[in-house]
């Protein structure tokens, strides 16, 4: 089977600092990849390359066989992106915002209205569809962002910490959405720090540390060598020396000695 995404020797620096140090990854159609790693490991940088936001990288990235650098616009149309905490145009209402996004993807107005109405309804936001989003809570805005990333029914869905600010019920809905998208054959690239969710939804987990992939396999495979929960796998492969004393050190810095 041909990979839908192929990343070869991806390197990216910000000034002198190299943050991606030769990432190699082939993602196959219909996979849910859980892309995890410590803060600053390079997850969002990988995502920004993948969705065509960053072009000054070394290496080769192809999506459905097309070179990301050469066919950026065509590839952008195949990908849906759900960012964490994006700046949403919050002077707009959800319907205005979704109509704007839908038109960028050249969707018909009636399709946009139909889809947006039903998707907002599924998230319990139908009553807020014509309300300006500067009055929205963080979680309400996040639901609109998820809707806007999926509105054009993309082949590949890239999510960067999509559950940020969502309540427990909405988390359940998003997890179900991910498995239904997988059933439809969509490919999902999912970055998150919520290990329990990654463990449940991903059929392949890729762990990145300091710009390099340090583990790649199913949860069952990772468990066999590195620990019985994903948290333990994560800690074993990325834990720095003195990591277990970090909380003590933090509290002692306040002058509290009884912790
Ligand atoms: N625009 C930028 N300019 C300079 N350095 C950057 C820039 N964006 C990211 N970095 C640096 O690149 C490294 C990787 O950042 P990145 O956002 O990819 O990490 P991450 O794995 O997504 O982290 P987190 O889990 O905290 O979101 C970090 O050291 C960060 O400081």
| pLDDT tens digits, 233-255 | 888 888 765 566 777 877 788 88
CATH number for the region 5-254 comes to 3.40.50.300
Residue whose CA is at the smallest distance from ligand 1 atom 27: 39
Q: pLDDT under 50 in the chain at which residues? A: none
Picking from 23, 71, 67, the residue whose alpha carbon sits closest to that of residue 45 is 23
List the Cα angle 97/103/107 in 5-degree steps.
120
88 — phi, psi (to 5°)? -95, 150
**pLDDT for the residue 242:** 54
Which DSSP letter does residue 126 get?
G
Question: What are residue 217's DSSP bridge partners?
Answer: 205
Helix, strand or coil for residue 252?
Answer: helix
**pLDDT for the residue 257:** 67
Instruction: Compute the distance between CA of residue 231 and CA of residue 97 in angstroms, rounded to an integer.
Output: 37
Residue whose CA is at the smallest distance from ligand 1 atom 28: 40
Pocket of ligand 1 (CB under 6 A): 14, 19, 37, 39-45
Instruction: Compute the distance between CA of residue 209 and CA of residue 215 in angstroms, rounded to an integer.
Output: 9
CA of residue 211 to ligand 1 center, whole Å: 10
- For residue 48, the ligand 1 atom closest to its alpha carbon is 18
112 — phi, psi (to 5°)? -60, -50
**pLDDT for the residue 237:** 87
Of 13, 14, 38, 54, the residue with max ligand 1 atoms within 8 A of its CB, to mutate for a pocket test, comes to 14
**pLDDT for the residue 243:** 66
pLDDT digits (tens, 9 = 90+) for 47-80: 999 999 999 999 999 999 999 988 888 888 999 9
List the Cα angle 40/41/44 in 5-degree steps.
75
**pLDDT for the residue 101:** 95
ipTM of the predicted assembly exceeds 0.95: yes
The whole model's pTM is what? 0.91
E-strand stretches of the chain: 5-14, 17-27, 32-36, 58-63, 66-67, 79-82, 156-160, 187-191, 204-209, 212-217
CA of residue 86 to ligand 1 center, whole Å: 15
CA of residue 23 to ligand 1 center, whole Å: 15
**pLDDT for the residue 189:** 96
Residue whose CA is at the smallest distance from ligand 1 atom 25: 39
């Amino acid at each position: 089977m041909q990979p839908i995404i192929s990343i070869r020797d991806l390197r990216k620096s910000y000034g002198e600092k190299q943050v991606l140090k030769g990432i190699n990854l082939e993602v196959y159609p219909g996979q849910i990849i859980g892309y995890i790693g410590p803060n600053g490991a390079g997850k969002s940088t990988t995502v920004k390359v993948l969705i065509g936001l960053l072009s000054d990288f070394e290496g080769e990235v192809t999506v459905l066989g097309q070179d990301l650098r050469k066919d950026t616009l065509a590839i952008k149309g195949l990908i849906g992106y759900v960012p964490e905490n994006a700046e949403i145009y919050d002077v707009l209402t959800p319907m205005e915002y979704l109509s704007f996004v839908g038109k960028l993807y050249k969707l018909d107005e009636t399709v946009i209205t139909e889809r947006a109405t039903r998707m907002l309804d599924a998230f319990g936001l139908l009553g807020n569809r014509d309300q300006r989003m500067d009055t929205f809570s963080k979680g309400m805005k996040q639901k609109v962002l998820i809707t806007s990333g999926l509105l054009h029914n993309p082949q590949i869905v890239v999510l960067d910490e999509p559950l940020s600010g969502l309540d427990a019920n909405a988390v359940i809905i998003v997890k179900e959405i991910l498995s239904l998208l997988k059933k439809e054959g969509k490919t999902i690239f999912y970055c998150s720090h919520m290990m329990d969710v990654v463990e449940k939804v991903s059929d392949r987990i890729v762990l990145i540390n300091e710009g390099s992939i340090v583990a790649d396999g199913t949860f069952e495979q990772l468990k066999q060598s590195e620990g019985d929960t994903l948290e333990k796998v994560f800690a074993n492969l990325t834990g720095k020396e003195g990591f277990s004393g970090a909380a003590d050190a933090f509290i002692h810095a306040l002058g509290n000695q009884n912790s």
